[in-house]
């Protein structure tokens, strides 16, 4: 299958690329070093309509496709993963549950601000004992009259603690062997956002633990039918894997861009190191693997846009691109030599940012389980 991008998609690709190189690149190193959340960049992306790319215009979105969304994520990640994951987690995990499973009132109340980037959405699934074993949820929600009383904790949650965070949709046990998703809005008494984690990478992204202690939310904040949470979040994770796969492609491409640029400029033994066969082998392997991974990721997005089953392809893309990002960023550092170990060079940040792509949105081992299951093994 070949992807001949239409004019609108090509225009979006060029526009996001120009934004990433012109607006994000000049501040990326400082944001990473100071661990500062990119509020100004998020606001600009919201104004451009990029915080709601795959949602219909009637709910406040840009009316774009999943493929357009994946391409936008890829272009941002070529320059900076923290900015990209902010948009990616907001769109795939924060906004999709409201759009797919929310009531008319929930959509009308939340989607316009989410799609415009005025508010950020978050999804609270992971717990101290519920990561890869996502069904082992300990957080509980008991119905008291017309109010859910939530008690529990979440960890590794993205976008929940900024000044523009609007809500987190959490998984909670609402009965025996019953998991539901419930919307908890920021400012609700009993809902606390913990201190941001000290992380290896994604330093300008907001990631922190959450606690719920007698947190009371309206019964109407239930997301879809009671007890449907497990099925809901499995579908959300499938969608999220397309975005994370696009991040893997973008990060690998960014590493190749920097490695090729450096190899052409760096002189050794009287010539550019790009002329040495060993360096050419690294660059050619990177370029070939990136193109294969890109097509796999685009196929997953295309299948979703066609309304076809994309679970297998999204898992394959996520598995492939996460590993590729780690390998390409390592090779880029190697090509840079000692300079690759210095923070002033983007490949150092890229290397630190890459590893999480083999863990977040389902570890490599979980992707292998999903793929094997889809194959009927």
> Using alpha carbons only, how large is the chain's radius of gyration in Å?
21
150, 148, 156: which is closest to 138 by C-alpha?
150
* Residues sharing a CB contact under 8 Å with residue 50, sequence separation 6 or more, in sequence order: 16, 62, 72, 87, 117
Angle in degrees, 0-180, between the axes of helices 81-88 and 25-34, rounded to the nearest 10: 90
Distance of alpha carbon 12 from alpha carbon 228, whole angstroms: 36
Positions marked active-site: 361
Cα dihedral angle (303, 80, 326, 320), rounded to 10 degrees?
0
Angle formed at CA 291 by CA 201 and CA 26, multiple of 5 degrees: 40
Distance of alpha carbon 150 from alpha carbon 79, whole angstroms: 39
- Please give the structure tokens belonging to residue 126: 């992971």
H helices present in 190-310, as ranges: 229-265, 277-305
Distances (CA, A) of 22 to 17, 26, 28, 115, 258: 8, 7, 11, 23, 16
178, 159, 172: which is closest to 217 by C-alpha?
172
**Which residue shows structure tokens 């019964």?**
219
Beta strand 140-144 with 271-272 is unpaired
């Amino acid at each position: 299958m070949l992807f001949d991008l239409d004019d609108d998609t090509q225009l979006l690709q060029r526009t996001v690329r120009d934004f990433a190189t012109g607006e994000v690149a000049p501040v990326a190193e400082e944001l990473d070093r100071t661990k500062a959340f990119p509020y100004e960049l998020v606001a600009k992306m919201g104004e451009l309509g990029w915080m709601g790319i795959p949602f219909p215009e009637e709910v406040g979105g840009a009316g774009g496709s999943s493929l357009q969304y994946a391409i936008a994520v890829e272009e941002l990640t070529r320059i900076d993963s923290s900015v990209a994951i902010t948009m990616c987690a907001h769109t795939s995990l924060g906004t999709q549950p409201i759009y797919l499973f929310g009531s008319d009132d929930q959509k009308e109340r939340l989607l316009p601000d989410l799609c415009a980037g005025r508010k950020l959405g978050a999804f609270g699934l992971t717990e101290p004992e519920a990561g890869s074993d996502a069904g082992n949820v300990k957080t509980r929600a008991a119905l008291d009259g017309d109010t859910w009383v939530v008690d529990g904790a979440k960890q590794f949650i993205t976008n929940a603690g900024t000044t523009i965070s609007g809500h987190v949709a959490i998984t909670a046990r609402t009965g025996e062997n019953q998991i539901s998703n419930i919307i908890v809005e920021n400012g609700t008494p009993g809902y606390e956002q913990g201190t941001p984690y000290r992380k290896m990478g994604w330093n300008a992204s907001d990631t922190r633990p959450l606690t719920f202690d007698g947190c009371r939310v309206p019964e109407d904040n239930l997301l879809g039918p009671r007890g449907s949470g497990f099925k809901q979040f499995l579908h959300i994770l499938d969608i999220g894997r397309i975005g994370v796969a696009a991040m893997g492609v973008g990060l690998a491409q960014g590493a190749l861009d920097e490695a090729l640029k450096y190899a052409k400029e760096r002189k050794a033994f009287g010539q550019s190191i790009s002329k040495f066969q060993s360096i050419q082998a690294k660059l050619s392997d990177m370029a070939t693997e990136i193109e294969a991974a890109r097509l796999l990721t685009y196929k997953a997005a295309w299948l979703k846009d066609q309304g076809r089953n994309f679970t297998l392809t999204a898992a394959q893309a996520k598995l492939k691109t996460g590993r590729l990002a780690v390998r390409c960023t390592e090779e880029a550092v190697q090509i840079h030599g000692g300079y690759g170990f210095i923070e002033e060079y983007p490949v150092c940040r890229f290397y630190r940012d890459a590893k999480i792509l083999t863990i977040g949105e389902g570890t490599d081992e979980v992707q292998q389980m999903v793929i094997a299951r889809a194959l009927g093994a």
